[in-house]
Amino acid sequence: MNKSCGTLLYTDNGYGCEDVAARGFVSLMDLYELNFIRFRKLAPQLGELGSTAVSHVDGCLDLYLQVLERSRYTSTVCLTYRFVEGDSLSSEPNLVLRIYHDAEMVEVLAGHLKHGRQHHDNLPAESAREKWKLNRFLYKWLGFCLHLGHGF
């Protein structure tokens, strides 16, 4: 099966998740569960991976997964593409994810988007709109990566 790499659409407004309205705590938890399902398809054996893994699909950008922390009930990872721009290396999008193995949820803890201009570090609990935007973006991005055939 031949899969086109396509592109993640970027506009001046961002990645297409800016209009996502926070729909409440229960709906956000549903989104975390959907992200877990997709992430588990992308990295079904996360516990067996080393600290860094690369998924390569011919003709597409390599996808990088770095395990930042592991514990019995959670793992923290960074998921990104890497670009060489001149003499520097940039990561875009660059998301830090917390995987809750027992609750079967994935939450975006931090994210750098829009070529490094949009930083969301250590999101406070009351930032529901930002959590919605980032987790909705993750949901779409994971689907895109799976469609291309990425996997760890």
Give per-residue pLDDT as tens, 95-149: 999 999 999 999 999 887 664 444 445 555 556 677 888 899 999 999 999 999 9
Strand stretches in the chain, DSSP E? 52-55, 63-70, 74-85, 88-100, 105-113, 118-120
pLDDT for 10:
39
pLDDT for 123:
55
pLDDT for 84:
82
Q: What is the pTM of this model?
A: 0.78
Give per-residue pLDDT as tens, 45-76: 999 999 999 999 999 999 999 999 999 999 99
Structure-block tokens of residue 150: 């990425």
Spatial distance between the Cα atoms of 48 and 67, rounded to a whole number of angstroms: 11
